[in-house]
Amino acid sequence: QVQLVESGGGLVQPGGSLRLSCAASGFTFSLAFMSWYRQAPGKERELVAGISRAGSSTNYADSVKGRFTISRDNSRNAVYLQMNRLKPEDTAMYYCYRPATGSWGQGTQVTVSS
């Protein structure tokens, strides 16, 4: 079955960086559009970034453009989210998502605080 496992979250100071990873299994990863979402306490889950099957096309929420970069390695069945210049408002649970099947990972917590 589809499995998505996120890792790489943690506590970081404002202005710092983190790299999230999502390991995928149970489907043909190279054929799957993939996304990252996040959900802060008391807020709705929101799209952060998406990436096409070959990685040639990406899209970002306005709030993260220029700071976050989504990428993928189809040979490793993995998708990544490089997060730079982090702000306190980036604090949230971050989820890997496969739109075609509505599959979610368990999430990884990112906390930006001094």
pLDDT (tens digit per residue) in 75-103: 999 999 999 999 999 999 999 999 999 99
Q: What is the pLDDT of residue 62?
A: 98
In sequence order, the β-bridge partners of residue 96 are: 36
pLDDT of residue 49: 98
**What pLDDT score was predicted for residue 54?**
95
8-state DSSP, 111: E
> Cα(111)–Cα(63) distance, rounded to whole angstroms?
16
For a pLDDT cut of 90, what percent of the chain falls above it? 100
Binned at pLDDT 50, 70 and 90, residue 5 comes out as very high
Token digits for 33? 């559009």
